[in-house]
Amino acid sequence: MSTVVDYTTFAVGCLLALAGLISLLAGWAPTWLRHVERPRLFGAWALCLGTFCVTQLPALRTEVIKLGDPAIDACVVLLLISAAALLLGLRRPRRQ
Protein backbone atom coordinates (compact mmCIF):
# COMPACT_ATOMS: atom_id res chain seq x y z
CA MET A 1 0.00 0.00 0.00
CA SER A 2 2.79 2.41 0.88
CA THR A 3 4.39 1.90 -2.53
CA VAL A 4 1.12 2.78 -4.27
CA VAL A 5 0.82 5.98 -2.21
CA ASP A 6 4.45 6.90 -2.90
CA TYR A 7 4.13 6.49 -6.64
CA THR A 8 0.74 8.21 -6.72
CA THR A 9 2.21 11.18 -4.85
CA PHE A 10 5.11 11.24 -7.32
CA ALA A 11 2.74 11.16 -10.31
CA VAL A 12 0.52 13.90 -8.88
CA GLY A 13 3.64 15.94 -8.13
CA CYS A 14 4.85 15.59 -11.73
CA LEU A 15 1.46 16.68 -13.09
CA LEU A 16 1.26 19.63 -10.70
CA ALA A 17 4.82 20.72 -11.52
CA LEU A 18 4.11 20.54 -15.26
CA ALA A 19 0.81 22.45 -14.93
CA GLY A 20 2.52 25.01 -12.70
CA LEU A 21 5.36 25.55 -15.15
CA ILE A 22 2.92 26.00 -18.05
CA SER A 23 0.82 28.36 -15.97
CA LEU A 24 3.84 30.43 -14.95
CA LEU A 25 5.13 30.73 -18.50
CA ALA A 26 1.80 31.27 -20.26
CA GLY A 27 -0.26 33.00 -17.57
CA TRP A 28 -2.91 30.32 -18.01
CA ALA A 29 -5.16 28.65 -15.42
CA PRO A 30 -7.56 25.80 -16.15
CA THR A 31 -11.06 27.04 -16.94
CA TRP A 32 -12.62 24.81 -14.29
CA LEU A 33 -10.70 26.74 -11.61
CA ARG A 34 -12.95 29.81 -11.60
CA HIS A 35 -11.82 30.84 -8.14
CA VAL A 36 -8.26 31.54 -9.39
CA GLU A 37 -7.78 35.25 -9.96
CA ARG A 38 -4.07 35.31 -10.78
CA PRO A 39 -2.94 32.42 -13.00
CA ARG A 40 0.77 33.00 -12.39
CA LEU A 41 0.28 32.64 -8.64
CA PHE A 42 -1.67 29.45 -9.36
CA GLY A 43 1.40 28.36 -11.34
CA ALA A 44 3.72 29.14 -8.42
CA TRP A 45 1.44 27.13 -6.11
CA ALA A 46 1.29 24.15 -8.46
CA LEU A 47 5.03 24.18 -9.22
CA CYS A 48 6.09 24.41 -5.57
CA LEU A 49 3.59 21.83 -4.36
CA GLY A 50 4.41 19.52 -7.27
CA THR A 51 8.14 19.74 -6.58
CA PHE A 52 7.51 19.01 -2.92
CA CYS A 53 5.41 15.95 -3.84
CA VAL A 54 8.08 14.69 -6.25
CA THR A 55 10.72 14.84 -3.53
CA GLN A 56 8.57 12.62 -1.30
CA LEU A 57 9.37 9.53 -3.39
CA PRO A 58 11.46 7.41 -0.98
CA ALA A 59 14.55 7.36 -3.21
CA LEU A 60 14.46 11.12 -3.67
CA ARG A 61 13.59 11.74 -0.01
CA THR A 62 16.71 9.81 1.00
CA GLU A 63 18.81 11.99 -1.32
CA VAL A 64 17.27 15.15 0.14
CA ILE A 65 18.09 13.93 3.65
CA LYS A 66 21.67 13.16 2.59
CA LEU A 67 22.05 16.73 1.34
CA GLY A 68 21.45 17.92 4.88
CA ASP A 69 19.49 20.61 6.64
CA PRO A 70 19.49 23.19 3.80
CA ALA A 71 17.75 20.74 1.46
CA ILE A 72 15.20 19.76 4.11
CA ASP A 73 14.57 23.44 4.85
CA ALA A 74 14.12 24.07 1.11
CA CYS A 75 11.31 21.49 1.05
CA VAL A 76 9.57 23.27 3.92
CA VAL A 77 10.04 26.61 2.15
CA LEU A 78 8.41 25.12 -0.97
CA LEU A 79 5.32 24.34 1.11
CA LEU A 80 5.25 27.84 2.59
CA ILE A 81 5.62 29.48 -0.83
CA SER A 82 2.87 27.29 -2.26
CA ALA A 83 0.52 28.18 0.61
CA ALA A 84 1.22 31.90 0.19
CA ALA A 85 0.75 31.73 -3.59
CA LEU A 86 -2.51 29.87 -3.19
CA LEU A 87 -3.91 32.40 -0.73
CA LEU A 88 -2.77 35.39 -2.79
CA GLY A 89 -4.07 33.93 -6.06
CA LEU A 90 -7.65 33.23 -4.98
CA ARG A 91 -10.53 35.54 -5.77
CA ARG A 92 -11.77 37.47 -2.83
CA PRO A 93 -15.52 37.81 -2.35
CA ARG A 94 -16.68 41.22 -3.45
CA ARG A 95 -18.20 43.44 -0.81
CA GLN A 96 -21.36 45.26 -1.69
pLDDT in tens, 24-35: 888 877 777 777
b/e 60-86 (16+ beta carbons within 10 angstroms → b): eeeeeeeeeeeeeeebeebeebbeebb
| Residue pair 64/71 in contact by the 8 Å Cβ criterion | yes
Report d(CA 11, CA 37) in Å as an integer.
Answer: 26
pLDDT in tens, 28-74: 777 777 777 778 888 888 899 999 999 988 888 899 999 999 999 99
pTM of the complete model:
0.81
User: Strand, helix or coil at 37?
Assistant: coil
Torsion angles phi and psi, residue 35, rounded to 5: -80, -5
